[in-house]
Structures are given as structure tokens and as C-alpha cells.
Amino acid sequence: MNEAAIPDSTTAVETAVDLRREFNEVGIGEVLDELDRELIGLKPVKTRIREIAALLLIERLRKRMGLATGNPTLHMSFTGNPGTGKTTVALRIAAILHKLGFVRRGHVVSVTRDELVGQYIGHTAPKTKEVLKKAMGGVLFIDEAYYLYRPDNERDYGQEAIEILLQVMENQRDDLVVILAGYGDRMDKFFASNPGFRSRIAHHIDFPDYSDDELLSIAELMLTEQNYKFSADAEAAFVRYIALRKTQPLFSNARSIRNALDRIRLRQANRLVSDLDRVLTADDIMTLEASDVLASRVFEKGSEEK
């Protein structure tokens, strides 16, 4: 916990607070607005983040009024498919925690099993402790956390990392927030096998898949940020692309959309450069045409696009 946010015995206890002034001064409204701008849809997630921000704001005021009886548990679980904004939300959560004084630094250290678990005896503890040292004062984001637990492998060292994490999550929760992330069904099995984690998680947030319309809006937002745009025919083609791509394996929501746009831009550039004698306008360079979209393997029967 940020020491500046905790009144000591010499600090005068406040009896009244201007809530709007407090909200504006700490700046969490700016972070919430930024989250709204960054992420299309995800209304249930955004609502939950606003609820957590409100809880922490009130907890901050309770401390200043001498009403707090203990620090809240802030460890979280993010469940959902890839590309649904979990990492982005973790960054904004860290900013909110920092502004409200619940973490010292407000940074996010994102890791997977490989950064925590060693391959031989005596290797896991120093790896895990080094990651925890880097994350202290902020948020540790563990993606696909269920891979830490492999009960079918007697020589696996993931359990050692789990035990160290559980100890730190309990004993140093005032200086570190841990977010476990991954597919919902696998996270449920992970928590069932490791009840120590479930008991330390205060907030479980599920990230839904994006709808077709939301994916199109995400694509258009990405293009606008890069000074590109769809022609009317290209937009219609991309609507078809989304519907087909979602039926294929390894679809990763916004991540797959970003990858698709990268390939479309590549095809557009090659189309333009194929005629070196033409004069290009800014609109030519900005506009993606239907042919750039329809050249995707997604439109070929039986083909898949990663």
C-alpha cells in the first residue's frame, strides 16, 4: 500500500469529503474514459472495473476517516478467449490502483509459465522470486496461469512456483496485485485443483467474445489510427471475412482482426506498387479495396488463415 495514502497517528482524521473533487483530483475518471476509448464493447467488463474503482475510492476515504479495518484483497482473475482485451484492462487497473494509492508504482509485469518455472531442481524458486521482485509495487499479470499446474508430470516444478506465489499473494498483498488470466473452463479446473488461489482472488471478471459488429468497429478504429480506411466494397467484403474467420480454428477476436488488417495492408501495398507508372493520391494510399480483402485464403473453401 502507498504509505502516503495511510494516515498515521499524527494525521488528523477527516470527517467530511467533497466526493466529486476527490474523484477529479485522483484522476481515475480519465483512466476509465481512456478504457472506454480503447476498447469496443465489453460492457460487463467496463461496468465491473468502474465498480472496483468506486470501491477503492471509498476505501481510500474510509482510511482518511479512520473507518478502515483492513486492506481489501485486490487479486483478480480474468477469464475469456484470446484477443478480448485482458492485457489492456490489466494496464488500466494498474493505473487506477496507483492513482488511488493501492500500489506504489502502477506498472504491469506480464509473464507466462516459462518466466516462472525452471527446468531443473533449484531453478524455479530464483526465477519466480526475480519476477515477483520486478512486479512489486504494481501488478503481476500471469497469462494462461493453468499451465503452472501439471499434475500428470511428477518432475514438473510448477507446484513450487505456485507455493511461492500463494505465500506472496497473502503476505505482501499490500505491495502487489496478482491477476491470473486464461480460458474460462481451464481456469475453473485450475482453481478446483488449487483452492489456495481461489481463496485469495477477490474479483473474477469474464471477458466475452466480440460480436461481428464489434469486430468491424474494432477494425475501423485500428485503420483510423493508422490513417487507412475501407472502401464501401472493401467494408462489405470484410464483413464477410469476419463471419467466415470466426468459424475457423485459432480465432483470437481483436488479435485476429489486427493480423488480418496487416495482411490486407500488405496486399494493398503490392497492388499499388504493381503499377509504377501511375500517380498516387493520398486517398489511393489510404484506401483498402475489396480485392485486398477478397484475396484472403479465408474465402477459399477448406483453407484456414492464422
> pLDDT tens across 160-169, in order?
999 999 999 9
- Of 63-67, 97-101, 239-243, 276-280, which range is least confident? 63-67
Q: Is residue 306 one of the residues assigned to a domain? A: no
Instruction: Report residue 197 as a C-alpha cell.
Output: 488461489
Q: Is residue 63 one of the residues assigned to a domain? A: yes
- The radius of gyration of the chain's CA atoms, rounded to the nearest angstrom, is 23
In angstroms, rounded to a whole number, what is the distance separating the alpha carbons of residues 173 and 168? 7
Contact (Cβ atoms closer than 8 angstroms) between residue 142 and residue 111: yes
Q: For position 154, which CATH number holds?
A: 3.40.50.300
Considering the domain architecture, whether residues 180 and 225 belong to the same structural domain is answered as: no
Considering the domain architecture, whether residues 224 and 180 belong to the same structural domain is answered as: no
Q: Give me the mean pLDDT over the 4-10 stretch.
A: 48
pLDDT tens-place string over residues 258-284: 999 999 999 999 999 999 999 999 999
- State the pTM of this model: 0.86
Nearest to 261 by CA among 303, 232, 212, 226: 226
Host domain of residue 236: 212-299
**Residue that finishes a domain, picked among 178, 207, 236:** 207
H helix runs in 4-81, sequence order: 19-26, 28-38, 43-64
Q: Is residue 305 one of the residues assigned to a domain? A: no
pLDDT at 11 over 50: yes
Contact (Cβ atoms closer than 8 angstroms) between residue 168 and residue 142: no
Considering the domain architecture, whether residues 251 and 155 belong to the same structural domain is answered as: no
Cα dihedral 285/286/291/297 (nearest 10): 110
For the chain, what is the domain count? 2
Q: Is residue 222 one of the residues assigned to a domain? A: yes
Considering the domain architecture, whether residues 98 and 48 belong to the same structural domain is answered as: yes
Q: What is the DSSP string of 151-212?
A: TT-TT--HHHHHHHHHHHHHHTTTT-EEEEEE-HHHHHHHHHH-HHHHHH--EEEEEPPPPH
Contact (Cβ atoms closer than 8 angstroms) between residue 52 and residue 179: no
User: What pLDDT, on the 0 to 100 scale, is given for residue 302?
Assistant: 56
User: What pLDDT, on the 0 to 100 scale, is given for residue 14?
Assistant: 72
Contact (Cβ atoms closer than 8 angstroms) between residue 82 and residue 255: yes
Considering the domain architecture, whether residues 249 and 120 belong to the same structural domain is answered as: no
pLDDT at 7 over 80: no
Q: Judging by beta carbons within 10 Å of its beta carbon (0-12, 13-18, 19+), is residue 221 exposed, middle or buried?
A: middle
Q: Judging by beta carbons within 10 Å of its beta carbon (0-12, 13-18, 19+), is residue 97 exposed, middle or buried?
A: buried
Amino acid type, 235: E
